[in-house]
Amino acid sequence: MIKYVIKRILMVIPTMLAVLIIIFTILALSPGNPGRLILGSTARQEQVDALNHQFGVDQPFLTRLWNYFRDLLHGDFGTSYTSQTPVINEIKGRFPYTLKLALYSMGLAAVIGIALGIITAIRQYSIMDNVLTSIAMILAAMPSFFFGMFAIYIFSLKLGWLPTNSSMSWKGWILPVVTAALNTAAALLRLTRASMLETIRSDYIRTARAKGADERTVIWKHALRNALMPVITSLALRLGGMLGGSVVVEKVFNFPGLGNYTVTAVQAKDMPTVMSSTLILSTLFCLVMLLVDIAYGFIDPRIRARYTTGSRQRS
């Protein structure tokens, strides 16, 4: 198991390097420059060139890439082109909001999606099953920005119950959390339902029923435990995606999180900000997936047997 864990940890390093190099290359090759974007179209070219030289964007691509990794190894995340403040300070102030949004949304989505998925599997082909699966398909196909704007129009502009943007009160969290959670909840409902139906039809479930086990024990003790394995994987993937992919929700509700901050930095071609935000979010995603892989190693006996058998054969 130790070799399995070490192997998974070592796989994170090239993944992170590849992500950073790809993002850096895209930003470097994209049209426009920060000097012109910051000073505006009316600024003289001499002023633009001087500002670009100050930022170092007039250097060759490989030199800039080398300087970035060199500074990164020394713990320097760079200075924002637009605010002229250390990027790490902005990230420290904004990341807690993104983390809370992801955790709240994932918790709500897990409770709704898994619970309703179990119910629809138990009551297959019932009216409740047909209604809930139809609603889940609609929500899964609905873009988050559309539902967010629709929710603002109904609950903020028409009814006046909730604020239009994410204020610091608890009411300001309701619409962003629900908007970010619904799509994931719909996907989890369908996945849980499919996994439960497949598990319920297994031979060991029929054996448990034939031995006289009551239906509640069969469902909650035997079927659910095995059916949740793919659901847990999907939860981890979507949690990592929410940490780095709640950009749309944050932008719609003007949320003071890292996603909204990153979008603004991309528009201004603020490379230090974009690179640092990408580094933080992609690192968290890799850590979430690493924890899932390690958990699988302890849960799945086939993985333990593979590495245990391999070590015994070599010895």
| pLDDT tens, the chain, 315 aa long | 677 667 777 777 888 888 888 888 888 887 777 777 777 777 788 888 888 888 788 888 888 888 888 888 888 888 888 777 888 888 888 888 888 888 888 889 888 888 888 888 888 888 888 888 888 888 877 777 788 888 888 888 888 787 776 656 777 788 888 888 888 888 888 888 888 888 777 777 777 777 777 667 777 766 777 777 778 777 777 777 777 657 778 888 878 888 888 888 887 778 888 888 888 888 887 787 777 777 766 655 555 566 565 445 554
Question: Is 310 domain-assigned?
Answer: no
The owner of tokens 């539902």 is 147
Its pTM stands at 0.74
Question: Is 102 domain-assigned?
Answer: yes
Reduced 3-state DSSP string for 150-180: HHHHHHHHHCCCCCCCCCCCCHHHHHHHHHH
Number of domains forming the structure of the chain = 1
Q: What's the first-to-final CA gap in the chain, in angstroms? A: 15
* Domain that includes residue 205, residue range: 93-267
Question: Is 68 domain-assigned?
Answer: no
Question: Is 117 domain-assigned?
Answer: yes
pLDDT tens by residue, 162-215: 777 665 677 778 888 888 888 888 888 888 888 888 877 777 777 777 777 766
- Residue 166: DSSP 8-state: -
Question: Is 243 domain-assigned?
Answer: yes
Q: What is the CATH number of the domain that holds 209?
A: 1.10.3720.10
H/E segment holding residue 4: helix 2-29
